[in-house]
Chain A
Amino acid sequence: GAGVSQSPRYKVAKRGQDVALRCDPISGHVSLFWYQQALGQGPEFLTYFQNEAQLDKSGLPSDRFFAERPEGSVSTLKIQRTQQEDSAVYLCASSFPPGTAYEQYFGPGTRLTVT
C-alpha cells in the first residue's frame, strides 16, 4: 500500500520567506510526528498529533514554527520568516498503534535550503 508521502521533496527559500511543508500519512494512522534532521545528525522531534489534536509541540525550536492537522489526516508544517539555521530535512512519520509495537513509518522528507 501507499506509504507516507511528503511534498515538496526539495524547497529553496530566501531568508525571510515563509514556507509550508506537507505530509500525507498512511490512511487510517492516528498518530503523526514531525522531525527535523540537520546535516550529519539524527532526526530530532518537533511535534506530535493524535488525530487533529496537537498533543506535544515541545520540540518546535521557535514561535516561527507552526504545525496543523485540521481534519486528522494531512498535516502541514509552516515556517515563518525562514532563517539559515532552518536549513534541514523535515521528516514526517505516522503510526497506528498495533498493540505494543508502535513502529513509526517515515516519509522521504523535505530538504529545505534557506539562502
Chain B
Amino acid sequence: DAKTTQPTSMDCAEGRAANLPCNHSTISGNEYVYWYRQIHSQGPQYIIHGLKNNETNEMASLIITEDRKSSTLILPHATLRDTAVYYCIVRVATGANNLFFGTGTRLTVIP
C-alpha cells in the first residue's frame, strides 16, 4: 500500500470547516483513499473513501486531486465532538487487506 503524509496537528474553530490534507504521491491506480478517525479512548471509526471522484456523506466530504496524488477531508461544520486523530490510508479495496494507519493528524476543535 502507498505511503501517506499528513500534518501532525491542526486546530479548527467550532462551527467552521475543517480541511485536513493528505499527500499520497505514490498511489497506484487501483488504490482507494480511506479516512478513519479515532476519538480519545475509542476504536477507529470509518469516515469516507474514494477512488477518483469527490465523495460526500453525512459525516464529511472527500476531495481528490485530478492526479490523485493528494486529497482533502472536509468536515463542513466542525463541532467539539470532532476532536480526534484523523488517519488517511490508501489501499486496494479488495481481498482482506489490513489497514496501515501511520500517525495521522490530531485535530483539535476550539470553542
Interface centre among A35, A43, A93 (most CB of B within 10 A): A43
Whether A105 touches B46, Cβ cut-off 8 Å, given contacts A41-B103, A42-B87, is yes
Closest to B87 in A: A42
**How many residues on B have C-beta within 8 angstroms of the other chain's C-beta atoms?**
22
Q: Mark A1-30, 1 if CB is under 8 A from B, else 0.
A: 000100000000000000000000000000
Contacts of A102 in B (CB 8 A): 93-94, 97
Q: Mark B66-106, 1 if CB is under 8 A from A, else 0.
A: 00000000000000000001010000011011111111100
Closest to A33 in B: B98
Residues of chain B having any CB pair with chain A under 8 Å: 32, 34, 41-46, 49, 85, 87, 93-94, 96-104
Residues of chain A having any CB pair with chain B under 8 Å: 4, 31, 33, 35, 41-45, 48, 50, 55-56, 59, 91, 93, 100-109
